[in-house]
Structure 1
Amino acid sequence: MVAFKVVRFAKLLLLVSHVVEGSKLNKLHGVSHVGITTEDLDISTRFYTDILGGKLLSQISEHGLFGDNIYQGMFAKELKDAEEKGVNPESLGVPDISKNGNYQVRWNWVLFDNLMVQLLNFSPRSKADIRSEDYDDQEMVRKSSPAYIAAPHLAFWVQDDTDLREYVMELERRSNAAGFEKIKCSRLTEIENEEDRYRVPIEAFASVYDGEDSMGGGGQGWVYCKGPNGEQIEFIKFAKSSGDKIRDAFCARKSLTTKIYPAYKDNKYKRNVGFPGQLYGLHHIGIRTSSLDESIDFFSGILGGTLMEELKGDHFFGSALQNALFQTEMIKARQTNANYDDLGIGDFVKSDLELSLRFVLFDNFILEQLMYARKGDETKGYNPRHEKSSPALINNMQIGLQLHNDVKMDDFIDNVLKKSKSKFGKVIANPIVDDPKLNGYKFAFVKGPMGEQLVFSQFTGKMADIIKSEMLAYGSLSTAYEETNPWTWEGFKEPCSEAADTGHTEL
């Protein structure tokens, strides 16, 4: 037993030393925001504020943006593809938001405990520009299945003392009462139609594993849902053993979460929305990959995240997983006689398909990598891809990674491209957008090795002042500002000292 303790302690020291060494090169404050493209900005904003308890940052929301620099900054890759194919960019999901175009981009920012959700909407500039076949037709909507490569899902972290199944029941009740008809959470049991969704027992409302045989030896619970415009969202909570491992990883990297912050209390925004507001903010964004090794190498080896070695999952399959991931799509397939592959539905019941998970931690957030592999052969799997990659497609998500303000963005991106080229050769960057109209928001859209959409961001001037002020008012945590970073005044000394002690006494 003593020898085992020494080995475990050596592993912990190795993890800490790796983080300290990596922090010398780390130029990111973690994830500043997740962007979600929506067809109805008002409905989406009301869901993330009135139902989930986020705070609308109206001072930094922008309505009616367009211009050649923003057009190129958001769509340069797709515009180049259209030119090479000799087609109209709109056929590839690109609205013309150039100076002389007919479209505009609008966005709202909603703040949670650890980052913001940016809701984007592309719409005609005037009623005269609206056509009979408008931009938000079905060709411009990403298929909602989470099986598509580079298709993300956004996961909210449900508080420990909340029953996840009751949470789902109340979330749907509140959403339906507010008129959000697209809010639907999967059941673990097979259902024939939407009416059956409300006839199953509450035990089927969420997947809850309390045993010590999942997720690297700890229990967890989770449920997949469709958001207000069909986007894939997840609600997740952890049993003590898995929660302790997450805490240890956050402590080792000096990352931030209200889950382990002793001074944090639920704010008025969460209290006002009641039960659905019982969240620690966002836990992770999940990204579908066809290669766990490549994705981990990019997000940890190149971007400086920390692979959470003791929190992973392998060999997940079965009917409960099948229903959780694809229930909405399977109902649609039955109703329309569609082929499962046409809707991106994998088979975790009759085939040899299985799900594997890995987690990469940044300063405030986790990027989850999901791979649908074949049993005994991780080089093969079920890997459908979207034909279009435009960030304007409805249900699309972008991951906003926040650069330190003393870093030159063009040099940083050039370095990322250079390192990626020697390993992947698939990473592409659009021109940087640094427009005075954005009041200090500077960004660059980048396609990752799987085609995932990243946004490298910096916030300065008025934009930074507003975000910091709003974070302090909400109680958010961020390493971007000294005032929002408890590590600068030993605010995590207590929980992280306990985490270290727990790690030794359990062994």
Structure 2
Amino acid sequence: MTVQDRKPPASGIARRDMLLTAGAALVTGTAVAAPAFAAGPSGSLTAAAHDSGPLGARLQGVQHFGLTVQDMERAYEFYTQVLGGTEVFRHGDFQGDPVQNTLLADQEIRAGELNVDPQTIGVPDLRSGDQRLDVRFIQFDNVVIELLQYRNASEPMGGPNSFAPPLANMSPAFPRMMHICFHVRDDVDFNKFIADLEAESARRGMTQVRANRIVRVRTEAERKSAPQSTNTNKVTEAPSDGWELIYCKGPEGEQLEFVKALGPVKRRFADTLAKRQRLLGDAR
């Protein structure tokens, strides 16, 4: 069926298509011609219409964040027993050519460009099975965290030894460095929360779980002795006013953030979410 053969869409769908296109144009800063969408029997968009629409209309949010760990059991304990996540499932012993190609082809190409053995730049050999990949998915209220461990085949699943060494420095200023941010409930005492997190982690031997302070500290002793009131950075300047945050390292040295979004900044997030849902909701 050609575009000319299609029946005119219902007014609601036509308006939604214009909104979707306008939203894409606002994001990209470009002018985009509205695509012709076909409606299904119930007035919803057909699969073919989805496939020709803006990329954002084809998504349904963030499914998970992945974290490659050195010690799977330690990371699992932190994210389930300390932070209260729930395991969805675990799967492991991944190996073989399709897995290698899916996950690591770009890095193998890079090693070839550098004329080096792929393992020297941290590329495991899943293809032959010399190394294996294990994963565990941990569900939180609104997102999933995937823990991944690459290990030598001789190492037990879930053990403390990974294939590649952890990065020596984990500054969030490094390009490509990522962090996981947890949303703390509005009525929680934020300073006490982080003090309890540090104490519970230390009780389990997770000595890397240390939160920064808003005052300058030069040693670990000074950090630990800083008043609890210095745990939380409270932002008062618009447009971040109402934002409260704590930066903290996890047990693997990973960068974590804990935040509250209160007052004006909470309304900004809520208004933007409502606007996005209006623009994209009907397209799903």
Q: TM above 0.5, one fold?
A: yes
Q: Which amino acid aligns with 1:95?
A: P
Deviation at 1:101, TM superposition (A): 3.5
Sequence identity, in percent?
Answer: 27
**d(CA) in 1 for partners of 2:174, 2:155:** 35
Which residue pairs with 1:145 in the alignment? 171
**d(CA) in 1 for partners of 2:21, 2:195:** 40
**d(CA) in 2 for partners of 1:126, 1:90:** 17
CA contact (8 A) 1:220 1:237 kept: yes
Which residue pairs with 1:117 in the alignment? 145
**d(CA) in 1 for partners of 2:132, 2:73:** 16
Q: Number of aligned pairs?
A: 233
Q: Secondary structure at the match of 2:73?
A: helix
Which residue pairs with 1:179 in the alignment? 205
Q: Name which of structure 1's ranges 196-205 and 106-115 shifts more when overlaid on structure 2.
A: 196-205
Deviations 1:75-129 (A, max 9, x none): 111101111222110111111111x24100001000011121000001111259x
CA contact (8 A) 1:19 1:253 kept: no
Q: Secondary structure at the match of 2:147?
A: strand
**Among 114, 135, 147, which residue is 1:107 paired with?**
135
Q: Which amino acid aligns with 1:111?
A: Q
Q: Secondary structure at the match of 1:184?
A: coil
**Among 89, 96, 99, which residue is 1:67 paired with?**
96
Task: From the superposition, tell whether residues 127 and 33 of structure 1 become closer, same or farther in structure 2 (CA, over 3 Å).
Answer: closer
Deviation at 1:17, TM superposition (A): 3.5
Task: From the superposition, tell whether residues 112 and 20 of structure 1 become closer, same or farther in structure 2 (CA, over 3 Å).
Answer: farther
**Among 230, 234, 248, which residue is 2:271 paired with?**
248
**d(CA) in 2 for partners of 1:187, 1:40:** 27
**d(CA) in 2 for partners of 1:197, 1:66:** 44
Deviation at 1:254, TM superposition (A): 1.7
CA contact (8 A) 2:71 2:162 kept: no
Deviations 1:216-274 (A, max 9, x none): 1622110111011000010011221111111111111129xxxxxxxxxxxxxxxxxxx
Which residue pairs with 1:49 in the alignment? 80
Which residue pairs with 2:43 in the alignment? none
Which residue pairs with 1:231 in the alignment? 254
**d(CA) in 1 for partners of 2:191, 2:155:** 44
Task: From the superposition, tell whether residues 204 and 63 of structure 1 become closer, same or farther in structure 2 (CA, over 3 Å).
Answer: same
Which one has the bigger strand percentage?
Answer: 1
Q: Does 1:190 align with 2:219?
A: no
Deviation at 1:63, TM superposition (A): 1.6
Q: Does 1:38 align with 2:69?
A: yes
Deviation at 1:203, TM superposition (A): 1.7
Deviation at 1:192, TM superposition (A): 2.4
Higher radius of gyration, 1 or 2: 2
- Structure 2, unaligned runs of 5 or more: 1-17, 25-49
Deviations 1:339-364 (A, max 9, x none): xxxxxxxxxxxxxxxxxxxxxxxx9x
**Among 227, 230, 233, which residue is 1:204 paired with?**
230
**d(CA) in 2 for partners of 1:19, 1:167:** 43
**d(CA) in 2 for partners of 1:41, 1:57:** 15
Root mean square deviation, CA, Å:
2.7
Which residue pairs with 1:84 in the alignment? 113
CA contact (8 A) 2:131 2:163 kept: no
Deviation at 1:66, TM superposition (A): 0.7
Q: Which has the higher contact order (CA 8 A, sep 6+)?
A: 1
Moved over 4 A (4+): 18-24
Deviations 1:411-453 (A, max 9, x none): xxxxxxxxxxxxxxxxxxxxxxxxxxxxxxxxxxxxxxxxxxx
**d(CA) in 2 for partners of 1:19, 1:29:** 17
Q: Which amino acid aligns with 1:225?
A: C
Q: Which amino acid aligns with 2:139?
A: L
Task: From the superposition, tell whether residues 252 and 145 of structure 1 become closer, same or farther in structure 2 (CA, over 3 Å).
Answer: same
CA contact (8 A) 1:19 1:252 kept: no
**d(CA) in 2 for partners of 1:102, 1:240:** 53
Task: From the superposition, tell whether residues 19 and 44 of structure 1 become closer, same or farther in structure 2 (CA, over 3 Å).
Answer: farther
Deviation at 1:20, TM superposition (A): 7.3
